[in-house]
Structure 1
Amino acid sequence: MHGIRQRDTIDVIYFDLGRVLVHFDVDRMCRQMAAVTEVTPERVHAVLFEQGLQMEYELGRINEEEFFELYCRRIGKQPPRDRLIQAANDIFWLNLANLPIVTQLQLAGFPLGILSNTCETHWRHCYERYAILEGFRFHALSCRIGAMKPDPVVYHAAAEMAATPPERVFFVDDIASHVEGSRQVGFRAFHYAVDPAGKNQWEATRGLARALRGLGIRFNY
């Protein structure tokens, strides 16, 4: 029998993408992009993060073509675009610990959303690769909103997208400041605290299940 939801307090649940639904490896991205570009990983990291190129992309201020052009200009190389994008994307794998919770919430028909700081390229790659993401109705992405967590603009945009008051939104994120930012605008929230190696992810998942049940959300898990 499918789970039964009770929506006395919560109308929608938003999940962060990175380290909550999928794991990712920034160092791997830098190494792979460096190999394609024929420079050092440290050089790639500097261009992407120290010079703020990745943030510009995740804020939606530039598109994929502009990202590629700026990357090449700053690196001083012209790698094959398709190989570079593949190298940048092949850094994700599913967080299997949370898969049962998400699946059962979807089977119960509970409205779910993604609330993530991400770029269009990474989002498209994950959405096309992981079928579980097709069950999320709302996609509140920094690259489309034009702001990043913990900016209050992001949380208000997510609530408006779901057409529900902030106090009836539950949010799950692995970064404490993002959780606190969501609470400041009225969200209920859970800090999915995992260590960098992900060794305690099953414990964090059990905590998430308890938090959901504590809000009156019933599902088979």
Structure 2
Amino acid sequence: MPHITTSPLQRADGSATFTSNLYSILAGVNGPVEVQRRDELPEEAYIEVNIRPGSGVGTPRERHLESIVALVLRSVILVHLHPRMLIQVTLQVLQEPSEKLMKGKGEVALLPSLLNAAFLALVDGGIPLETTMSAVLVAVDAAGGVVAEPSTKELLACKSVHALAYDMQGEMLLDQSTGAFDMGIWEGVAEVTSQRCKAAVTSTEDTDEMRDEDVSEQPWLRNTLEDKVRAANAWREQT
């Protein structure tokens, strides 16, 4: 289960950290704020994503990832509520694997942590959202087995890497893959990732159903959102 903290940044409208077994990401959100005229959209908010690598300066790799993250976030944010405004998301990579991953694998492996951190920061900042979402990383080993949340060693040895994200209704928001795989393998990947994203938001009443589906993931996203709601309403309980 990932380690999550909310509101670590004092000067951001919303912030969160998301730490998996591979990456640790610090996300900050500001907005809605005024947008530069060149980025202004007449009927919706402009989503700006900035990714800062763990070391050095940003490269075309970060620009590519920024465009993917922004596209996914647009599908969950109620952008039409803030036309001609800017919602800015900054993602800082705090920790990454010490062993360098092959080009392609590293980009795909990073995406789920970026998206999960960004979504949690949006929630922390009170940005109006249409739905919840979560992202999952899986790898396919040499025998064709699907490994959820792989280790660095498993990533280095795997045949393919897949990053998928789903909203609360089960609609796929992201499908990024690299490596050698066929449609049968991809269908297995889609089934595993869909179940794990469902498990992330499952309620206590759904526990038996999730056991039947053999999903070991804990409802980390639901727990985080419930903790956030309890903290926001704490003052009501004291009156």
User: Same fold judged by TM-score > 0.5?
Assistant: no
What's the TM-score once normalised by structure 1's chain length? 0.25
- Greater helix proportion: 1
Scaled by the length of structure 2, the TM-score of the pair is: 0.24
The structure that is strand-richer by fraction is 2
Higher relative contact order (CA 8 A, sep 6+): 1
